[in-house]
Structure 1
Amino acid sequence: MENKNDRPLVSFIVTTYNLPTTLLCECLQSILSLSLSKEEREIIVVDDGSEVSPLNDLVELRDKIVYVRQRNKGLSEARNMGLVCAQGKFIQFVDGDDYLIQAPYEHCLDIARYKDADIILFHETEEEQPEVPFECNGPMTGSAYMHQYNLRASACGYLFRANILGNLRFTPNLLHEDEEFTPQLFLRAEHMYFTPSKAYYYRQRSGSITQEDNMRHMAKRLDDTESIILRLLDIAQHSPEMERVALNRRIAQLTMDHLYNIIQLTHSARHLNEAIERLRNYGLFPLPDKNYTKKYVAFRKMINTKLGRRILLLTIR
């Protein structure tokens, strides 16, 4: 029988697709540099059908990683494959062109080691050597956090306990799949901690999914976001009150971001008005009269009037 104490502390699920080997190696070395013994870490590299497998360039790391190659199915399926393989008590997603920043991430590992944490939320950064504020807030439930704060949805921005996952997985062929996955995961967390430590280096690269600039991608991005909003709305309507209130805040924030993106990406009054009518039919427009953030309040006042919408279309670029 398997001894649960023999499980690694953390499974790092590293996804890659046609990445320069130098970036992938930098990512893997950032994990190997952490204060985790080989028994405490598990590094699962999921190659999502790269044209050329990077394995031959990872000779020195072969005995330190689990390499899984699948046909190209997209990021959601790659992460789901990593979850199938993962044996660790905690899970950390890492995109293969990013890396973990040692000192602040060690702080997150200490929280995982010494506190009864379900989720440790930290910050992403584009600074190579950020300051390290060794602060820790919590515990609180994930729903309480979502009730009080705007959620940062990136699945790479937190470390989470594997046993809260249940049957939750990423939806295949969905852009911005984190926006659907993360709120559902947070609702499952009874003991959540959050820190201002900037522990994850996020690399902006031309040619990545978020940088593509074409009409088909734009249309899918907007359609998928609307689908995510409606999926979260359905979950909220069947949830207990505390979870429903938490999700409603996230839905309102995501709806605001969606309308902003429609303006920014299309500059089209027709597209905006059509989206507003669809959202209205689902009870998502006008935006709720809540004081979530100053930005939310200001945008809500503008988008809820015809004159405000005209101004937004002229000023958002």
Structure 2
Amino acid sequence: MNKPSISFIIPYYKVELPLLARAITSILRLGQKADWEVWVINDGTPGHEAEDYLGSLDDPRIHYHVQPNLGLGGARNTGMEMAQKEYIQFLDADDFLFQKAFSQILDVLGEKHPDLLSFEFKKVYHTGLWDTNVPAWQTVFQGSGTDFMLKHNLHGCAWGYVFKKSVLDGLRFTSGIYHEDEEFTPLLFLKARHVIITNLPAYAYFQRQYSIIHHPDRKIIKKRYSDLQHIILCLTDKGRQMEGNAAIALNRRIDMLRMSMVYTLLGDSPDTAFLLETLGNMKRTGLYPLTPRFYSFPYTIVRWCTFKPSCAVVLSNMFRLFQLRHAGHAS
């Protein structure tokens, strides 16, 4: 079994130093399981705190690069350009890797040499570093990325898998938008001929109260849904240029993204006016109502329950009422 070669790319933007140190430490704890390097991409964070910390480690495998703020996608693009190893793994600066599980990931990379290996994650809520119980390895799927997408849903997050740099073939993130992973991930899967999906939880996903996904600001919510709609339309254009199973697989993913967009909109909308405006924008571009397909039971339920805007309004009001009650119980 060969030792895998892997570049860890950590975009860094105004994250507390102890969290960045936690992410780095989780990589250092992997020891000699892989031939690895780290690229910390400072995406416009002022000061020298991170640079001083990384310099104090005195490890030639850890690299630090400073650039103007280009957003998460732009920072990852820079990291991919600089990566020198066979595989790439994204790691957000406030997250970390579970040592035992990721060590098994590295073993499978060295043995099977897949183009892409996808794994599970666990949400974490405090700033400590610890390991987690590792279940028995289970290969949920093995085959091409296209075949996987024909029948299964994707975890869109780009940190949820490790992949060969050679598979990219020019693929990059769109800079300056939210939800950039939702465009990048399906296109990468379609390029991967040998994909392994496992149930192993190898990634610790730190939950922030005011992350972009959970931020209550109306302008941020509006940009999120505008960007997501733009991504779906871009994927739709790319799907028209494809043929055969690749086109079918991407169209399935597009429909699932539309369903996810409508469903999350019910809970994220700050008021009825916002909900109706966003649904109206989706309708004008052909994204709403949802396509009458039978991908899964949840898809069918969401499609029927939101077929008319009036039904979506009722559901959204119920969501907001539940959130208010939950907040009241929590206080």
TM-score, normalised relative to structure 1: 0.91
1:181 to 1:315, Cα distance in 2 relative to 1, 3 A: same
1:51 aligns with 2:56: no
1:133 aligns with 2:130: no
Out of 194, 200, 207, the residue aligned to residue 197 of structure 2 is 194
Q: Distance in 2 between matches of 1:100 and 1:61?
A: 21
Contact 1:138-1:191 at 8 Å conserved across structures: no
Q: 1:196 is aligned with what amino acid? A: N
2:254 is paired with a residue of what secondary structure? helix
1:61 to 1:293, Cα distance in 2 relative to 1, 3 A: farther
Contact 1:35-1:106 at 8 Å conserved across structures: no
Query: What's the offset of the Cα at 1:83?
Result: 0.7
Q: Distance in 1 between matches of 2:133 and 2:301?
A: 31
Task: Give the equivalent residue in structure 1 for 2:25.
Answer: 29
Out of 102, 111, 115, the residue aligned to residue 112 of structure 2 is 115
Task: Give the equivalent residue in structure 2 for 1:100.
Answer: 97
Task: Give the equivalent residue in structure 1 for 2:185.
Answer: 182
Out of 9, 20, 31, the residue aligned to residue 13 of structure 1 is 9
TM-score, normalised relative to structure 2: 0.87
1:45 to 1:303, Cα distance in 2 relative to 1, 3 A: same
1:233 to 1:114, Cα distance in 2 relative to 1, 3 A: same
Contact 2:276-2:309 at 8 Å conserved across structures: no
Contact 2:114-2:195 at 8 Å conserved across structures: yes
How big is the alpha-carbon RMSD for the aligned residues of Structure 1 and Structure 2?
2.1
Contact 1:140-1:192 at 8 Å conserved across structures: yes
Unaligned runs of 5+ in 1: none
The CA deviation string for residues 102-152 of structure 1, in whole angstroms up to 9 with x for no partner, is: 111112112211113011000111255243331123421111111111111
Out of 225, 229, 235, the residue aligned to residue 228 of structure 2 is 225
The CA deviation string for residues 81-119 of structure 1, in whole angstroms up to 9 with x for no partner, is: 101100111000000111110111112112211113011
Residues 1-317 of structure 1 aligned to structure 2 (within 5 Å)? 9-36=5-32, 40-53=35-48, 54-58=50-54, 59-126=56-123, 129-317=132-320
Query: What's the offset of the Cα at 1:37?
Result: 5.8
Query: What's the offset of the Cα at 1:170?
Result: 0.7
Query: What's the offset of the Cα at 1:208?
Result: 3.4
Q: 1:73 is aligned with what amino acid? A: L
Unaligned runs of 5+ in 2: 125-130, 321-331
Q: 2:230 is aligned with what amino acid? A: S
1:84 to 1:312, Cα distance in 2 relative to 1, 3 A: same
The CA deviation string for residues 28-71 of structure 1, in whole angstroms up to 9 with x for no partner, is: 11111114367x11111111121222111230244330111112
Q: Distance in 2 between matches of 1:209 and 1:202?
A: 14
Q: Distance in 1 between matches of 2:281 and 2:217?
A: 24
Q: Distance in 2 between matches of 1:65 and 1:307?
A: 54
Q: Distance in 2 between matches of 1:41 and 1:268?
A: 48
1:61 to 1:179, Cα distance in 2 relative to 1, 3 A: farther
Query: What's the offset of the Cα at 1:180?
Result: 0.7
The CA deviation string for residues 10-43 of structure 1, in whole angstroms up to 9 with x for no partner, is: 00001111222211111111111114367x1111
Q: Distance in 1 between matches of 2:6 and 2:218?
A: 40
Structure 1 stretches of 4+ with a deviation exceeding 6 A read none
Query: What's the offset of the Cα at 1:281?
Result: 4.2
Query: What's the offset of the Cα at 1:233?
Result: 0.7
Query: What's the offset of the Cα at 1:244?
Result: 1.4
2:107 is paired with a residue of what secondary structure? helix
Contact 2:266-2:312 at 8 Å conserved across structures: no
1:241 to 1:283, Cα distance in 2 relative to 1, 3 A: farther
The CA deviation string for residues 223-247 of structure 1, in whole angstroms up to 9 with x for no partner, is: 0010001011111111112111111
Q: Distance in 2 between matches of 1:304 and 1:194?
A: 34
